Structure 1
Amino acid sequence: MKKIIHIFYLFIFTGLLFFASCSDSSDDNPSPVTGNVDFTSYVAVGNSLTAGYADGALYISGQKYSWANDLSKQLTTVGGNGTFRIPYMPTELGVGVSESSTGTPVLRTKLVLGQTTDCLGSNGIGPVLADPNASQAVLYFYLVANVAAMGPYNNIGVPGIRVTDLFDPDLAEKNPYFGRIAYNTTDTLETYAAKVHPTFFTLWIGNNDVLGYATSGGTEAITPMEGDVGTGFQASMEAEVKYLTSITTGGVIADIPDITSIPYFNTIPYDAITLTNQSQADQLNAAYANYNATMESLGLPYRINFQVGANPMVIADADMPLPDSLSFLKIRQMKSDELVILETPLDSIKCGGWGTIKPVANQYILTENEIATVKKATDDFNAIMKNLADEYNLAFVDFNSIMKDIDQNGITMNGITFTTKYITGNLFSLDGIHLTPQGNAAVANYFVQAINDKYGTKIPEIDVSTFPAIQIPDKTAKVCIKPVSYP
C-alpha cells in the first residue's frame, strides 16, 4: 500500500481546511462540418484530469462530467459513433486515497461543502467528507473491484500516472485505478488505447510529472527529461505519440498548465499570521532575538520580525546557505512570491504555533527556488509536446498560456465567469487541482477550438451554463480564507 501513497500523494490533500464565512457571451455555434479526419471512434489517454477525478475522489457524476466525455458528445456531430465507455466507480460518494498522520494510507469519500468548526470554535463553510464514517473495507472493495469485463473503455484517464507509467508492466499492482480496468496484472496502459479501435485520440498527460514535486513542497522528484522509454519524459512522450498516431487518423495533444496558478497553491496567503496587539509581537521577537543576532554575525540577510497586523509565516528552508552544524537555523519568514499548499493544516497554524514559534515544514511550502524548478520543468516538457504536435501534424492545446490568462484576467463563457479563486472561481473543484463540471465543459471547448483550427471542422462548442456549479450551502455567504489570528 505504500506504493499507492507514493502515487496518490500527487493529487490529494490530507487535511480538511476550515474557512470562515466572510463578507460574455460566446459566438453562435456554426453548423457542424466534418473535416479531413475520421472521428468514428475516440479514445482519451491521460491522468486524473481526463478521468473526471474531482473533489479529492473518483465518483460517478465527476466521471460523467469529465471533459473527455463532454468532447465525445460533440464529436458525434462530425461522425463520432456515440460510444464512449467510462470505467465508472460504483459509488457517487467516490473513492480517494490520502495519508494519515502516521503515513499509512486512508481511503475516503469525495469532499462537499458543509458547516465546519475550527480549533478556536469558529463556525464557517468549508470542505467536509461526504461520508466521514465510510467503511474502509467498503471503499477498498470499490477501489479494487475489477471492471475490465465491461470494457474496453474509451476513457483511459488514470489518476496519478506520469508519462513514464504508460509503459510500466507493474502499473496495475502499483495503481489500483488502473488495476480495476486491467485485464491482466502485467498489462501496460500504453496498449489499452488500441482496444477500442480508435480513429481519433486526445493525449493530456505530464501534469503529474511536475505536480508531484510541487504538491510535496519540492520533496518528491520531477520526472527526468533524459532516459529510455519508461524512465525519461522525452523518450516516453515520443513513444506514446508515435504509437497513438500509428493507430488513428488524427488527434490532439494538450500541454501542462501553469500549476502554480491553481487554487491548491494560491489560497492560503503567505502572510497568514495576524497579530492583534504589540505584546504578541514583542514576545515573538524576543524568542527570535538570538536567531537574528546569529544571522547578523554570519553576514546573512535573514531576520525574523513580527509586528501588529499581517505577518509572513516562519518556514523551514533546507536550501539556506548554512553549514550542517547550524542546520537547526535553516528557518526564515516567507517571501511574498512564495506559495503555501492547500493541504497545510490551518488548525496547526491557528492553535499549534505553526508559522510563529514553530516553522512550517518544507513539505507545505513552495519556495522561490522550488517555483523556478517547477516552471523550468513545465516549459521544457511543454516544448517537447509542442514539437511532437508539429512533427506529427496534430492539434495542440496550450493550456499553459490559457491558465496564465485565466489567472490574470479570468474568462467568460456563456455568461459564466471563470477565475482561479478557490471555490468561488467556478473552474476548480474542492481539491483545488481538478475541475468542476463547468470547468470540464470549458476545457472541452478549448479542445473543440483546437480541433476546428487544425482539421477544418466546425464542431459546435458546449454551453457551459447548462452544467452544474459548486453548491454552496449558505448562498448569502462568501467563502474565503481569512488571515489566521495568533491566539
Structure 2
Amino acid sequence: MKKIIISTIAVSALLFTVSCNTDFDTDVEDIVVTKGEADFSNYVALGNSLTSGYRDGTLYSDGQNESYPSMLAMQMKLAGGGAFKQPLMPNNVGGFTNLPGFPGKLVLKMVNGALAPVASPAAAALDNVAAGRPYNNMGVPGAKSFHLVAPNYGSAAGLLTGTANPYFVRFASSATTSVLADAMVQKPTFFSLWIGNNDVLSYATNGGTNSQTTGGVTTYTAATVQNGNTNPATYRSNDISDANVVAGSIKGVLDGLKSVGSTKGIIANIPDVTNIPFFTRVPYNAIPLDAAKAQSLNTQLYGPLKAALTAFGQGDRINPVVAGNNPVLIIDNKLANLSAQLTAALTAGGVPASQAAFIGNAFGRARQAKPGELMLLTSSSLLGLDATTNQAATPSSVFIYGASFPIGDQYSLTTDEVKNISTAVKAYNTSIRAMADSYGLAFVDMNAKMTELNSKSGISWNGVRYTATFVTGGTFSLDGVHLTGRGYAVVANEFIKSINKKYNSTLPQVDPNKYSGVTFP
C-alpha cells in the first residue's frame, strides 16, 4: 500500500494525443469582429472562485490574469469593449499570512519519490485594494448564491464571525455593501453571471458531512431572497443550499442589474461537481492486494468481522478481499453503530480485549465502498498509512487506512450523498435555464461541457487533447476543483459561442493552447 500521488509515468501523459480535428464549433476568427446587438463597453463579471481565476487552491495574480472573464474582455475589446480591471492579488503565491486556512498555491514537489501537490506558505497579509475601484471582475472565491446579495459580506469585522469573505473585504466599497450593490453602481452594459457551484460544492468536498458551526452565512430574512420559508441564515457552512434559495438569490441579482438598465448578459448553469478530478482521481476500489496479503487480511480481520456483522444482520457491509483491486473501507454515518456489539463479539471470539475494542470502535459504522461511490482527492494522502502511527505502512502494519482500517466519513461520498448532490444540481440548473429565458439572456450549458470534458475522448483544440483527468488532462489545476489557464480558456469559448448566438456578435474564440497548464518542477 502507498499513497496515491503523481508518478513520473503520469508526467509523460502530458504528451497529449494529437488529432486533426477541433471539437469546438466553427470559430469566427476569419470574420470581421462585430458586437451585434450587444454593448461590450462596460463588461462586469459576477460569480465565485471560477469567475475570479482561482486555481491551485488559492487566488494569485497569474491565475487572475487567466480568468475566463479576462479572456472574454480581451475578445470584447475587438468589438468596442472597454477596459477590464481586476482586484489583483499583490503576489503570485496567494494566501493570507494573518488568516488561518488561507495557504499559498499548491505546487508539485517530490514526496517519497514521486510528485505530489504541496501548499506553499502564504505570501502576504490580507490587503485592501478598494481605492482602485471599480473592478470589472467581481468573482469572489467561496461565495454561494445568496452571498452575492448579502450586505456586510465585505466587512472586515465579519471575518471573526464568519459572515464576511476576505476576498470581498479586499475590494468592497464599504463594510455594509454587497457584491450586487457594487456591481449595480457600475451600470454594466454587459454582464456575466456564473454562481451556484459553492451551494453544493462545500457539502461535496467535505464528504457530505456538515459543519457544526455557522460560518459564511448571513442574517437577512427569507423574504429578501424570495425563497418562501427557507432562511439561509440558519445554514451551516457545508450544507447544500435549498434550491429555492439559489433561485431566489439569482433572481435578486438579475432584478438588481435590470433596475439599473443592465439587461444584456449571459448566465451559466453549474456542472455536476462529481465530474471533476477531486472526486474522480481516486477509484472506489483503490486497494491493491497480492494473494498472500488478501489471505492474511481475510484470516485475521475480514473473516471474523463479517461473521460478527452477520450475527447482527449486517453481513453485507463486508466481503472477503481478493488478489487485485479491492474496495476502500469507509465510514457510513447512516449505518447503525455496532461498536459495542462488535467489541463484545470479537472479545468472545478470542480477540484480545484491547484489540477488540479498537476494532469495534473503528468498524461500528464501517463498510466497503460500492461502485459509483466516490473517494475524495484528500483521501489519497491517507490511503496506505498505518492508522496507529499515521506513517507509511510497513510489512508489520496491521491497521492500514483503506485496507484494514476505515477512512473517515469526510473522505468519501456514499451513494445517497452522490444522489443529494445530483438532485441539487438538477434543481439549480432548471431554475437557471428558466431565468435565462425569462430575462432574455444568453445561456451557456457548462454542465454539458464539463461532462464532455470528463469523457474518455475529452475535447481537442488544434491537435491538443484536453480531458478532466487530474493533472495530465491539462484543464484542471492541482486542487482538482478549479481550472488551469487552458481550462478557463475552454470555459471562455463556451461563453463566446453562446454570446455570439444570442446577440449576433462575432467575437473570436481564444486559443486554449496559448494559456498555461500545470507547472512541473
d(CA) in 1 for partners of 2:7, 2:313: 42
Cα 1:92–1:346 change in 2 (3 A) is: same
Query: What is the match of residue 86 of structure 1?
Result: 86
Pick which of 327-336 and 394-403 moved more. Answer: 327-336
- TM normalised by structure 2 equals 0.79
- Structure with bigger gyration radius: 2
Cα deviation code 1:312-346 (max 9, x no counterpart): 11100011256797695221001121111112252
Q: 1:228-307 to 2 correspondence within 5 Å?
A: 232-247=245-260, 248-300=262-314, 301-307=316-322
How far is 1:295 from its partner?
3.0
CA contact under 8 A between 1:58 and 1:96: conserved in structure 2?
no
Measure the CA separation in 1 of the matches of 2:4 and 2:176.
Answer: 39
Check 1:303–1:36 CA distance in 2 against 1; reply closer, same or farther (3 A cut): same
Gap regions ≥5 residues in structure 1: 1-15, 99-103, 118-122, 474-487
Could you tell me which runs of 5 or more consecutive residues in structure 2 were left unpaired when the two chains were aligned.
11-20, 159-163, 234-244, 342-360, 388-399
| Paired letter, 1:163 | S
Q: Distance in 2 between matches of 1:282 and 1:370?
A: 33
CA distance in 1, matches of 2:464, 2:495: 18
Which deviates more, 150-159 or 264-273? 264-273
**Structure 1 residues 97 and 213: alpha-carbon distance in aligned structure 2, compared to 1, 3 A threshold:** farther
Q: Secondary structure at the match of 1:43?
A: strand
Q: Output the CA distance in 2 between the equivalents of 1:163 and 1:180.
A: 19
Partner Cα distance (2:187, 2:131) in 1: 17
Contact 1:252–1:394 (8 Å) recurs in 2: yes
In the alignment, which of 380, 384, 395 is matched to residue 349 of structure 1?
384
SS at match of 2:317: coil
Q: CA separation in 2, counterparts of 1:336 and 1:430? A: 25
| 2:411 aligns with one of 349, 364, 389 | 364
Q: How does the TM-score come out when normalised to structure 1?
A: 0.84
- Any idea what the Cα deviations from partners look like across 1:236-270, whole Å, max 9, x if unmatched? 12111211233313010101112101000011121
SS in 2 for 1:417: strand
Instruction: Give the corresponding residue for 1:395.
Output: 442
- Whether contact under 8 Å (1:227, 1:233) holds in the other structure is no
CA–CA distance in 2 between the matches of 1:90 and 1:62? 12
Mapped partners of 1:128, 1:434: distance in 2: 16
Conserved? CA contact 1:316–1:361, under 8 Å: yes
| Residue equivalent to 1:419 | 467
Residue 176 of structure 2 aligns with an amino acid whose one-letter code is: T
CA 110–246 in structure 1, closer or farther in 2 if over 3 Å, else same: same
Decide whether aligned partners of structure 1 residues 406 and 106 sit closer, same or farther in structure 2, where only a CA change above 3 A counts.
closer
Identity of aligned residues (%): 36
3-state DSSP of counterpart to 2:270: coil
Pick closer, same or farther for the CA change 1:230–1:239 going to 2, 3 Å.
farther
- Indicate if the aligned counterparts of 2:303 and 2:320 stay in contact, CA closer than 8 A: no
Report the secondary structure of 2:183's partner residue.
helix
Q: Aligned equivalents of 2:71 and 2:266: distance in 1?
A: 15
After superposition, give the CA deviation of every residue in 1:129-177 in whole Å (9 maximum; x if it has no partner).
3x4xx3x6x53x1xx2110001110000000000111122232222111
1:320 is aligned to 2:335: yes
Residue aligned with 1:108, SS: coil
Q: CA deviation at 1:388?
A: 0.4
Q: Does 1:200 align with 2:219?
A: no
* Pairs within 5 Å for 1:75-114: 75-81=76-82, 83-95=83-95, 105-114=100-109
The root-mean-square deviation of aligned C-alpha atoms, in Å, is: 2.6
Alpha-carbon distance in structure 1 between the residues aligned to 2:57 and 2:509: 28
